[in-house]
A and B are shown apart, each in its own frame.
Chain A
Amino acid sequence: MTTSANIHAVEITGLSRKFGSKLALNQLSLQVRRGRVFGLVGANGAGKTTLIQHLLGRLKAQSGSVRVFGFDPVAEPVAVLGRTGYLSEHRDLPGWMRVDELLRYTKAFYPQWDPAYAEELRRQFGLDPRAKIKTLSRGENAKAGLLIALAYRPELLLLDEPSSGLDPVVRRDILEAIIRTVADEGRTVFFSSHLLEEVERVADDLAMMFNGQVVLAGTVDEVKENHHRLVLRFDSPQLSAPKVQGVLSLTGSGQEWTAICNGQREQAVAAAARAGGRVVAESSPSLDEIFVAWAGAESA
């Protein structure tokens, strides 16, 4: 194992992936430190699931490299999958099995399976051991998937859009599981989400993905502190958004416009002044606003 693998649970360098002529991942690089909760955010179709498939070794890197705990997931699937608990967005559990059968079946694959922990989670999640998987509600299905991803205490918990389409009660169970995973055992969590609220609550670090690339990465606090929301006032009403260099987005109407900028606050203020605007208010944007600003900037 390299020294880097002691620090990073996941290390992706220059990863590109094409489906036909469509470039799904474009020279993407990111690192996930051990013991951290990492949130991957991006619009639908940004490439999040494709990226996760590479971590599981289900897709082979066309160029660049993917390492999980220092291992190549394609060349050494046992080393990677044996350390990784995965909950897919589609929760592809075998419908004909009963809950207790699913637990026994999954247990067979993992020597480190913890039966007491599995039972504790089953009770906590309120899953009937004799219920057939296909009769479970959407939320129960997600909990069953989460249970088998957690019960062998994986070093890396990998969740692809875990809260997608679930009610607030089940979402809470999932967030609790994430928090417990890092708090009690210092393991690593990697999850993708389009719910910025969740990312802000539970993630230490985040990366924003657009068009197959990471455009922004850092700790959640850094990202929030580096972005500024400036309310600009112009002497005369502006019919369309004025050109202000160096800001991610500019929205508003008439004389007042709101700019979101990343770092470079002084330059943005100077650019606004050149365009005839002065700053009348300043505050910190929410992660949602930051995301929307980047989404606009990336599609422009």
Chain B
Amino acid sequence: MQLHVSTGDGVPIYLQIANQVKYLVASGRLAPGDEIPPIRVLAHQLLVNPNTVARAYLELERDGLVHKRHGSGTYISGAGSPLARKERVKILSERVDALLAEARHLHVEPPELLRLIQERSQSIQPKEDK
């Protein structure tokens, strides 16, 4: 599991970790049942405080994305994230706004952008279905 933490922006590190794990799951690079590294190992790898990693894992657990097995490690859950729909829409809306602004700046009209989204979606789909 390769994650990258950046301290330049305002996003807290625990959220960066949680978001990247969510991304890895959504893109199929982490599959249900996969084990994610122990807190100490990831803290050492990313050079961040272990409590920060623990908080990220707790957040992921609350969101139902991972679960702990007693006396064992932390694993990606099968059901996927049961985040409230409102929450999901809110997260995505922010991304879409940024994307639209950038597209406008690059003179890409929304229909062309939609086509691009569909294209990209197809290119990451097969991995998820396997």
Chain A residues within CB distance 8 Å of chain B = 36-37, 172, 175-176, 179-180, 182-184, 196-197, 200-204, 220-221, 224-225, 229, 283-289
Contacts and interface: CB of A to CB of B under 8 A. Distances in A.
B75 to A, nearest CB: 21
B47 interface: yes
Contact of B44 (A176, A224, A285, A286): A176
A70 to B, nearest CB: 24
Contact of A183 (B8, B14, B50, B55): B50
B12 interface: yes
B7 interface: yes
Q: Is the interface of A mostly helix, strand, loop or mixed?
A: helix
A286 B51 contact: no
A224 B43 CA distance: 20
B47 A179 contact: yes
Contacts of A225: 12
| In the A-B complex, the 6 residue pairs with the closest CB atoms | A284-B10, A183-B50, A197-B7, A200-B7, A183-B40, A201-B48
B47 A184 contact: no
A225 B13 CA distance: 12
B49 A221 contact: no
Interface in B1-30: 5, 7-14
Q: Which of B10, B13, B47, B50 has the most CB of A within 10 A?
A: B10
A201 B10 contact: no
